[in-house]
Copies of this chain bind each other. A is one copy, B any other.
Amino acid sequence: MIIVLKPNSTADMIDHVLKRIEELGLQPHLSRGVSRTIIGVIGDEGKLQAEPLEAINGVEQVVPILKAYKLASREFQPDDSVFDVKGIKIGGGHLGMIAGPCAIEGEDLLYEVAARVREAGANILRGGAFKPRTSPYSFQGMGEQGLEILRRVGDRLGMPVVTEVMDPRQVDLVSKYADMFQIGARNMQNFDLLKEVGKFRIPVLIKRGMSATVKDLLMSAEYVLAQGNREVILCERGIRTFEDSTRNTLDLSIVPNVKGLSHLPIIIDPSHATGRPDLIPAMSRASVAAGADGVHVEVHSCPEKALSDGPQALVPDQYARLMDELRRLAEVLGKSIDVCQGEPVSCAPC
């Protein structure tokens, strides 16, 4: 950590800072320049980061050197993490292809979509039973009944399932049905919820908040990891910017950026990032080419009747064409896509 003093800081102020650092058992190194005095601090930076040194009289700026996350860092674990979601590997060259409707609306509909995306090559089924909706008057999800449907459809088709958990009180319930928890963007900094899923041994997909920096996202992963659950998968789903022709702005450079900072897998959700079906295929291809560990796409057999986020869903035929493209790209790039076990039953489009 480096402490930069104000140009007019007095000898007394400097002494006060030096004393505080020594009180913490750390070693200050003073460098006096013509226009500024700076103090480098050697030792356990964690101790210092917890101290409000900027509030000391005479201090202009405090520059942290070490990262605030540890377990999530590439330094903690140099090799890529590879997680097994009930037989489907994600990370280290294995792509997780997550697909399904935004919300679970009924067993027949979910089965139909699931069978179609599985046939196209998706290897994890998604579907929301608890839905975070901006309006209290919108459909809020089927709740436990939805979880039961999701589990049954996943089992019938041999697909692992992922579903969102929104409330610490639901975590235990959801753990009985899901192969992977999803933490939604709006809950990325719901720290009590992160602690709760951290107590389980079920992989957690954490979606980046709309105004979260890459560092914030890694700190949220750290919350889960610090509880003992080491299986965290990151997910970019767009950030809020001034650009209004897309629902959000997909920050795709997060992929190589996170790969440098962390060993955790990162997948991309172009459905929420763009909100526009016409942009999803191109951004899915770009995601795989950028090195993402998977793609998360919303698929619905009748988007115009969907109870949630219909306007951004692909129909199964579009998803099948997209998966053909992604498989070709994956091959060129040396990536593999695990296949679900068992024989799926195909069914007609709506």
A294: CB under 8 A from chain B?
A: no
CB atoms of B274 and A253 under 8 A apart: yes
A303's nearest neighbour on chain B, judged by CB, is B55
CB atoms of B190 and A190 under 8 A apart: yes
A132: CB under 8 A from chain B?
A: yes
Binds B, one of A90-98, A118-126, A163-171: A163-171
Interface size on A, residues (CB 8 A): 110
Given A253-B279, A257-B246, A306-B55: A137 touches B50 (CB 8 Å cut-off): yes
A87: CB under 8 A from chain B?
A: no
Q: In the bound complex, how far is the Cα of B247 from the Cα of A19, in angstroms?
A: 28
Q: In the bound complex, how far is the Cα of B256 from the Cα of A215, in angstroms?
A: 29
CB atoms of A253 and B246 under 8 A apart: yes
Mark out the residues of chain A between 51 and 71 whose CB falls within 8 Å of any chain B CB in the assembled complex.
51-57, 61, 63, 65-66, 68-69
Copy tally for this chain in the complex stands at: 4
Q: In the bound complex, how far is the Cα of B193 from the Cα of A332, in angstroms?
A: 44
Q: In the bound complex, how far is the Cα of B33 from the Cα of A30, in angstroms?
A: 14
Interface readout for A243-279 with B: 1 if CB under 8 Å, 0 if not? 1111001111101110110000000001001101011
A233: CB under 8 A from chain B?
A: no
Q: From B49, B241, B283, B288, give the contact of A256 (CB < 8 A).
A: B283
Q: From B20, B49, B167, B309, give the contact of A304 (CB < 8 A).
A: B20
Mark out the residues of chain A between 1 and 39 whose CB falls within 8 Å of any chain B CB in the assembled complex.
2, 4, 7, 20, 29, 31-36, 38
| B residues less than 8 Å from A320 (CB atoms) | none
CB atoms of A311 and B215 under 8 A apart: no
A302's nearest neighbour on chain B, judged by CB, is B55
A157 smallest CB distance to B (angstroms) = 25
A240 smallest CB distance to B (angstroms) = 4
Q: In the bound complex, how far is the Cα of B260 from the Cα of A230, in angstroms?
A: 42
A167 smallest CB distance to B (angstroms) = 4
Binds B, one of A108-116, A205-213, A336-344: A205-213
CB atoms of B279 and A256 under 8 A apart: yes
Q: In the bound complex, how far is the Cα of B40 from the Cα of A35, in angstroms?
A: 13
A170's nearest neighbour on chain B, judged by CB, is B192
Mark out the residues of chain A between 187 and 232 whose CB falls within 8 Å of any chain B CB in the assembled complex.
187, 189-193, 195, 209-211, 213-216, 219, 222-223, 226-227
Q: In the bound complex, how far is the Cα of B216 from the Cα of A245, in angstroms?
A: 11
| B residues less than 8 Å from A190 (CB atoms) | 166, 186-187, 190
Given A2-B40, A7-B75, A250-B252, 19 additional A-B pairs, CB 8 A: A33-B65, A35-B65, A50-B137, A52-B306, A52-B310, A55-B306, A55-B311, A56-B304, A63-B63, A69-B135, A136-B223, A169-B192, A213-B242, A213-B245, A244-B244, A250-B253, A253-B283, A256-B279, A332-B332
A-B contact pairs, 16 of them (CB 8 A): A4-B65, A33-B65, A52-B310, A52-B311, A53-B311, A55-B303, A56-B304, A133-B191, A166-B191, A210-B211, A213-B245, A241-B241, A250-B252, A260-B278, A282-B290, A329-B329
What 3 pairs across the A-B complex have the smallest Cβ distances? A52-B310, A211-B211, A289-B289
